[in-house]
C-alpha cells in the first residue's frame, strides 16, 4: 500500500510538470514565432510527453502492469524507452550467411567417366614409375664395377693359374654381369602404358641396348674361355681372343646409354 502511495505521488508530480510544460508551450505559441518550423516540434514534444506519462500511469495501476512491461508501441515510447527498443532489436535472430557451393564438373557438362580416374591405370602407372626409378639407380651403380673390370682387363694375363689380377678381373666381371641383368629386369618387366610414344633420348637409349645387351652376354662367355685357356698355360686364341674388344665395345655402348638419358638434347 505504501508503494502504491509513493507511485501516486511520483506520477502526480510528473503530471503537474507535464501540464506546466504544455502551458509554457501554449504561451510561446501566442507570441509571434521567429521561426515557424520550431512551433510544431514543441507541440509534438509536449503531446508525446503527455501521452507517455498517461500510459505509464495506467500501466502502474493496472493489475498486470507491474508484472509485464509492454514494449514501445509508438514513436514517443521509443524516445522514452530506448534501452527496451534496442533490446528487442537485438533479440531478433540474424539469418546465417551461407556461401553457395561452387559448380561441379558434372554441372559443367563433363561426364562422370571422364572426370574420375581409373584405379587400375593409376596403379599400373605407379608401378612402372617405381620400377624405372630402380632401373635408373642400379644402372648408375653398375657403371662402377664395369669401369673397374675394363681397367683390370689389361692386367689379367699371365701363365700362372693363381694369378691374383686374373681372379680379381673375373670377380669384377661376374659382379658387373649380375648387376647389369638385375638392372635390365626392372626395365624389361616394367608395366607398359598403351598409347605412350617413344621419342627423343629414350629412343637412343633403347637402340643402344641392342648393342650392350648382347655384348654383356657374350663378354662373360668369352672371358670364361680365355680364363680357362690361361689357366692351362695356353695363350688365348680363337674366339676367346675377341674377349677384350667385345668388352670395350659393350662398356662404351653402356656409357652412351647412360649419357643419353642424363642430358636433354
Per-residue pLDDT of the chain (265 residues; tens, 9 = 90+): 555 556 666 656 665 555 555 454 444 444 444 444 444 454 555 566 556 666 665 655 555 444 444 444 444 444 444 444 444 555 566 666 666 677 666 666 666 666 566 778 888 889 999 999 999 999 999 999 999 999 988 777 655 555 788 889 999 999 999 999 999 999 999 998 887 777 788 889 999 999 999 999 999 999 999 988 888 888 888 999 999 999 999 999 999 999 998 876 5
Comparing CA positions, the residue from 208, 201, 187 lying closest to residue 261 is 201
* β strands within the chain, DSSP E: none
pLDDT score recorded for residue 195: 77
CA-to-CA distance for 180 and 214, rounded, in angstroms? 12
Percentages (nearest 5) of helix, strand, coil residues in the chain: 70, 0, 30
Comparing CA positions, the residue from 246, 242, 235 lying closest to residue 158 is 235
- 265's CB contacts (< 8 A; 6+ apart) are 201
pLDDT score recorded for residue 224: 92
The model carries a pTM of 0.55
pLDDT score recorded for residue 131: 95
DSSP 155: G
CA-to-CA distance for 223 and 215, rounded, in angstroms? 12
pLDDT score recorded for residue 1: 56
CA-to-CA distance for 23 and 15, rounded, in angstroms? 12
Amino acid at each position: 500500500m505504501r508503494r502504491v502511495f509513493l507511485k501516486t505521488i511520483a506520477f502526480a508530480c510528473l503530471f503537474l510538470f507535464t501540464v506546466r510544460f504544455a502551458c509554457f508551450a501554449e504561451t510561446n505559441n501566442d507570441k509571434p514565432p521567429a521561426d515557424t518550423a520550431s512551433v510544431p516540434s514543441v507541440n509534438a514534444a509536449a503531446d508525446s510527453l503527455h501521452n507517455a506519462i498517461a500510459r505509464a500511469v495506467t500501466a502502474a495501476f493496472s493489475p498486470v502492469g507491474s508484472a509485464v512491461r509492454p514494449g514501445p508501441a509508438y514513436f514517443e515510447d521509443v524516445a522514452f524507452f530506448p534501452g527496451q527498443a534496442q533490446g528487442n532489436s537485438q533479440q531478433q535472430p540474424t539469418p546465417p550467411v551461407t556461401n553457395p557451393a561452387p559448380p561441379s564438373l558434372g554441372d559443367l557438362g563433363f561426364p562422370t567417366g571422364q572426370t574420375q580416374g581409373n584405379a587400375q591405370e593409376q596403379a599400373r602407372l605407379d608401378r612402372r614409375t617405381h620400377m624405372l626409378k630402380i632401373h635408373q639407380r642400379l644402372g648408375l651403380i653398375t657403371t662402377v664395377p664395369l669401369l673397374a673390370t675394363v681397367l683390370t682387363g689389361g692386367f689379367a694375363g699371365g701363365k700362372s693359374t693363381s694369378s691374383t689380377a686374373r681372379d680379381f678381373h673375373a670377380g669384377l666381371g661376374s659382379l658387373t654381369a649380375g648387376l647389369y641383368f638385375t638392372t635390365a629386369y626392372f626395365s624389361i618387366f616394367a608395366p607398359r602404358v598403351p598409347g605412350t610414344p617413344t621419342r627423343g633420348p629414350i629412343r637412343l637409349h633403347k637402340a643402344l641396348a641392342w648393342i650392350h645387351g648382347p655384348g654383356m652376354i657374350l663378354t662373360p662367355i668369352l672371358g670364361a674361355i680365355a680364363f680357362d685357356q690361361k689357366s692351362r698355360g695356353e695363350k688365348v686364341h680363337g674366339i676367346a681372343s675377341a674377349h677384350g674388344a667385345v668388352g670395350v665395345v659393350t662398356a662404351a655402348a653402356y656409357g652412351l646409354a647412360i649419357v643419353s638419358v642424363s642430358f636433354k638434347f
